[in-house]
Structure 1
Amino acid sequence: MNSSPVVIKVGGALLDDAAAMQKLFLSIKQVSESRPVAVVHGGGPLVETLMASLGLASTKIDGLRVTPDEHMPYICGALAGAANKQLCAAAIASGLTPVGLSLLDGNMVVCQPMAQKYGAVGIPSTADASFLKSALAQATLPIISSIGSSPEGRLLNINADQAATVVAELLDAELLLLSNVDGVLDADKQLIEVLEQDSIAELAKAGVITDGMKVKVDAALQSANTLGLPVYIASWTADITDILNKITGTQILPKSQAPEHGVLGDAL
């Protein structure tokens, strides 16, 4: 029986769906009886709402939120504060014992600033897994926001998919990228069970994988190649055991596991 850890990444939109949140945490509770689980989260919609209410402009370059240092107190408050504690409270309601964390806690992850044009946006890399592994060994559920720090102590905003990948790398864990979609759909709106680099490129060229799903699939492929393990794109309303057993969702294969002629073969 597989007892390796599972890292589950959820987007901030989950906070607007109380029923989905409850279902997810009940599913996590079931899985956590046999495998350690950690949750990594973003909080884009919450940040957008807060910035608008404060009259602060929010812009993106290449899909990344430009984050001036003077905005970081608000973004930290939204992600490491409000979003993190909402998720922790929902976990408690489902009978779990959450520990609310950020990437910078326990020296888990070290972050370096990206190009200056992005502001306080960073790239994460693994540092010390001992604190996180200790938390998991105590049967707690780490719920980790995508706020990091440079070695000099500068707070940095981290893309949540990248944050989840580095936590999965830290734990040598399976990674699930969960959102409000069932997985990747083909041209006939049917779920695609398995994808790898060549088939992703073909479907993107054919206009089947576009926009937000293209960003998600590219992030999953990058994560799969980093981890050397399949990464799952699935719905946060699905049973996690079903996702891990490949009953639902889309598996994104790393280069090392991709078949020679692509998983779609001559189907395109």
Structure 2
Amino acid sequence: MMPHPIVIKVGGALLDDEKAARQLMTQIKALQKRRAVAVVHGGGPLVETMMTGMGLTSEKVDGLRVTPDAHMPVVCGALAGSANKQLCALAIGAGMTPTGLSLMDGNMISCQAISNQLGAVGQATPNSSVLLELLIKEQFLPVISSIGCDDNGRLLNINADQAATAIAQLLGAELLFLSNVEGVLDELGQRFTTLDAMQLATLSQSGVITDGMKVKTDAALQAATELHRAVFIGSWHAAPEDLLNATTGTQIQPEATKAGEIS
């Protein structure tokens, strides 16, 4: 039996750390020899830079960027354009053959707007795996931005953690959330090695997990529940194998297990 594919979600801040980005792509190339891999990415810092340069401002509600439709050309250009192509270039530099995609390509993900308050911000639902399976079979590396659209063709900005969850559901894949933090941290900055739904709820209610990390853990818990396996949150400085082997990062469990151990 072939091992499950792996979906690796990387935050946009990776593009500000060229050494780490090149190191991660080298690790993905090695991993790709044994497992099918897809990369899903955000690009928040790049979006902020481009919007500031154009005199635009934005706010966040519960970790999600409020995105008026008028801002979508900038957001789309930053994520599906600049960030996506920079990651594809890094993949080529590591000796891989990337294919830059968005959530709407191949009808892989269905999207719909969440609320009028958030504007053109959507939620993602798995739809068709045909395109991704074809690419993976031919050893291409899908590099997927978190830009989607609804059935009416309205462009939508999807939180990249939630986008990665939908892609992992689509492929029945293991899911790694990689950023510039080593995992989910307690109030003293120590890393939880594993957490379940009850503990995550308690940490959220007490204000230990907030904003972007809450969006990330919510997405991880949703994915763990749908996939019936742990989802991993960790640093892009760590090897993916170390995260999968639970030697670093935080495992988010799909149901209550012994958890809360501090490394």
Normalised by the length of structure 2, the TM-score is 0.93
Q: 1:62 is matched with which residue?
A: 62
Q: What is the distance in 1 between the residues matched to 2:58 and 2:155?
A: 18
Root-mean-square deviation (CA, aligned residues, Å) is 1.9
Q: Report the counterpart of residue 145 of structure 1 in structure 2.
A: 145
Aligned to 1:33: 33
Deviations 1:89-138 (A, max 9, x none): 01111111110000000110111112122111111111110111100001
Partner of residue 263, structure 1: 259
SS of equivalent residue, structure 2 residue 117: helix
Do the aligned partners of residues 183 and 112 (structure 1) sit closer, same or farther apart at CA in structure 2, a change above 3 Å counting? same
The answer for unaligned runs of 5 or more in structure 1 is none
Aligned residues: 262
Q: Secondary structure at the match of 1:124?
A: strand
Deviations 1:40-73 (A, max 9, x none): 0011110011111101121222221111112111
The CA distance in 1 between the partners of 2:25 and 2:247, in whole Å, is: 19
Q: What secondary structure sits across from 1:73 in the alignment?
A: helix
**C-alpha deviation, 1:204, in angstroms:** 4.1
Structure 1, 223-232 or 213-222: larger mean CA deviation: 213-222
Matches for 1:234-253 after TM superposition, within 5 Å:
234-253=234-253
Residue 100 of structure 2 contacts residue 142 of structure 2 at CA under 8 Å; is this kept in 1? yes
C-alpha displacement at 1:246, in angstroms? 1.4
Q: Distance in 2 between matches of 1:152 and 1:210?
A: 33
Greater shift, 125-134 or 59-68, is seen at: 59-68
Which residue of the partner structure matches residue 197 of structure 1? 197
Counterparts of 1:207 and 1:120, CA distance in 2: 28
Which residue of 1 is the match for residue 24 of structure 2?
A: 24
Letter of the 2:172 counterpart? D
1:209–1:127 distance in 2 versus 1, CA, 3 Å: closer
Q: Find the counterpart in structure 2 of residue 224 from structure 1.
A: 224
- Letter of the aligned partner of 1:18 in structure 2? E
Structure 2 residue aligned with 1:184? 184
TM (normalized to structure 1)?
0.92
Whole-Å separation in 1 of the counterparts to 2:144 and 2:26: 18
Q: Deviations for 1:67-94, whole angstroms, at most 9, x for unmatched residues?
A: 1112111111100000000000011111
Q: What is the CA-CA distance between 1:226 and the residue it aligns to?
A: 2.8
Of stretches 9-18 and 199-208 in structure 1, the one that deviates more from structure 2 is 199-208
Give per-residue Cα distances to partners, 1:237-265, cap 9 Å, x unaligned.
1011111111111100012xx23xx4249
Gaps of 5+ in 2: none
Aligned-pair identity in percent equals 58
| CA distance in 1 between partners of 2:259 and 2:247 (Å) | 17
Q: Does the Cα contact within 8 Å between 2:129 and 2:170 map onto a contact in 1?
A: yes
| Residue 43 (structure 1) aligned with residue 43 (structure 2) | yes
For 1:113 and 1:76, how far apart are their aligned partners in 2?
Answer: 16
In structure 2, C-alpha distance between the alignment counterparts of 1:11 and 1:204, rounded to whole Å: 21
Cα offset, 1:221, TM superposition = 1.6
Q: Which amino acid aligns with 1:176?
A: L
For residue 112 of structure 1, what is the aligned residue in structure 2? 112
Please name the residue that 2:173 is paired with: 173
**What is the distance in 1 between the residues matched to 2:79 and 2:205?**
35
For 1:53, the equivalent position in structure 2 comes to 53
Equivalent position amino acid for 2:152 in 1 = E
Distance 2:211 2:111 in 1: 27
Deviation at 1:186, TM superposition (A): 3.8
Contact 2:65–2:118 under 8 Å retained in 1: yes
